[in-house]
Amino acid sequence: MTDELRLESRPALTDPVLVAAFRGWNDGGQGASLAGGFLAKGWGAERFGDIDPEGFFDFQATRPHVSLVEGVTRKIEWPENAFLTAHLPGTERDVVLLLGIEPNIRWRAFTELIVGLAEDLNVQLVVTLGSLLADVPHTRVPPVTGSATDPQLVEALGLSSSRYEGPTGIVGVLHDTCKRRELPSVSLWAAVPHYVSLTPNPRAAKAICDRLATLLDARLDTTELDEAIETYTEQVSEAVSSDPDTAAYVEELEERADAAEQEHAPEEDIPSGDALAAELTRFLRDREENGEQPGSESA
């Protein structure tokens, strides 16, 4: 490991999964970062390291913050990408959380650090969280889509192979690095209303958390998010009602969402429930039995 990866300890983990969420381009309505923070809190995650920001950030573009400690001492808080770990409730496996900010430079080196640590910790699967702006209403459960680059994982979990072409963020580069290093990876994305993109969206965060918990077959109490959703919905609805054009537009989006639900249109690209968790377990077990350890070279 390079000096840019700063580990306070090296945790002993069982069948770990790495879950990553970054603030920035991949984080519309802060749905992904809010979900990541909630997961860390809900699972009681403990920090064990971070990535030195010096070589990955333009501090004129992503400036450090100055705060006061006890009203006297000035403290500088640098852009952070921290690693935390926790045991997944209801399972026999652990999770590594990577929570931070999309870097400004050296993305390939940044993702190589992440995947290198994942290999060193024998991580079995990488899952990234994202949220994107879309034509969805703030009053309905947002759709969550999932994709993977590994053809076997796509088939096992009923995911989709991404067909997106265009600009990408650090999540896209991380998945490319995982693919090159033969480390299975999945990407989960929640849609957030484009007309209220600057407000943290607990509804998107809950949708992501629910989907991830299903994927990993782990328990997660989302009561706190449910309460935040109620407040969020009331506040946004009040703001929307003050503008007739926006109110009419939101009503149209609600009608579309309701019609899609009545027609049983798929809101997600991945199945839910015990079947999905069982398929993931089988996929990882088959890789291990076949000697396909993450990071191993193909014949």
Please report how the helices 31-42 and 202-216 are oriented relative to each other, as an axis angle in degrees rounded to 10: 60
CA distance 143 to 256: 13
**In Å, what is the CA distance from 121 to each residue of 12, 82, 83, 118, 294?**
8, 15, 12, 5, 10
pLDDT at res. 73: 75
CA distance 17 to 292: 16
Block mean pLDDT (10 aa), the chain, length 299: 86 94 94 96 96 96 88 86 95 95 97 96 94 91 83 70 79 94 92 90 95 88 94 93 91 86 54 52 63 46
pLDDT at res. 297: 40
pLDDT at res. 298: 36
pTM of the model: 0.85
Query: Which of the four CATH numbers 3.90.1150.10, 3.40.50.10900, 3.20.10.10, 1.10.560.10 does domain 5-289 have?
Result: 3.40.50.10900
CA distance 217 to 275: 10
CA distance 163 to 225: 32
pLDDT at res. 261: 74
CA distance 12 to 9: 10
pLDDT at res. 280: 58
Q: Residue 160 in contact with residue 276, Cβ under 8 Å?
A: no
Query: Domain extents for the chain?
Result: 5-289
